[in-house]
């Protein structure tokens, strides 16, 4: 079946450190891939997305590339800030699902000044 696996947290980094959160997926067909972010006390927000192989989603300094050969969609940021502290969810939608998102378990990121 369709599933998403992302690295377990929590992840603690110092400000300006490089961030990678790994995400791999299993899906039939060609899903669309997403990263959502949940800041403390808020709802999930779409961070970035990619709809086909080799697409790169980017937003707020974060990037992720849809790698079909490795079925991965790793999230990266070159220099994190304290304000990036949040929980990050990798997710996919498989075709024809009417928006049925399948989420990974989430990775909590804490950035220290």
Partner 1 sequence: GAVVSQHPSWVICKSGTSVKIECRSLDFQATTMFWYRQFPKQSLMLMATSNEGSKATYEQGVEKDKFLINHASLTLSTLTVTSAHPEDSSFYICSLLGQGPIDEQYFGPGTRLTVT
Contact 2, 100 (CB under 8 A): no
Residue 41 is a binding residue for partner 1 (CB under 8 A): yes
The SS3 of residue 83 is: helix
Considering beta carbons, is residue 62 or 89 the nearer one to partner 1? Answer: 89
Q: In whole angstroms, what is the distance from residue 106 CA to residue 44 CA?
A: 11
Q: How far is the CB of 79 from partner 1 (least distance, A)?
A: 26
Considering beta carbons, is residue 84 or 89 the nearer one to partner 1? Answer: 89
Interface mask toward partner 1 for 50-69; x: CB under 8 A: -x------------------
Distance linking the first and last C-alpha atoms of the chain: 41
Residue 42 is a binding residue for partner 1 (CB under 8 A): yes
Which residue bears the tokens 């961030």?
A: 19
Q: How far is the CB of 92 from partner 1 (least distance, A)?
A: 11
Q: In whole angstroms, what is the distance from residue 34 CA to residue 89 CA?
A: 8
Residue 73 is a binding residue for partner 1 (CB under 8 A): no
């Amino acid at each position: 079946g369709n599933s998403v696996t992302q690295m377990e947290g929590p992840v603690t980094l110092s400000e300006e450190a490089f961030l990678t959160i790994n995400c791999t997926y299993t899906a039939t067909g060609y899903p669309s891939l997403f990263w959502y972010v949940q800041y403390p006390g808020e709802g999930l927000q779409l961070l970035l997305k990619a709809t086909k192989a080799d697409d790169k989603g980017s937003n707020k300094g974060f990037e992720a590339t849809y790698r079909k050969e490795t079925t991965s969609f790793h999230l990266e940021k070159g220099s994190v800030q304290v304000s990036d502290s949040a929980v990050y969810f990798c997710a996919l939608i498989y075709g024809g699902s009417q928006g049925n998102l399948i989420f990974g378990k989430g990775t909590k990121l804490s950035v220290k000044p």
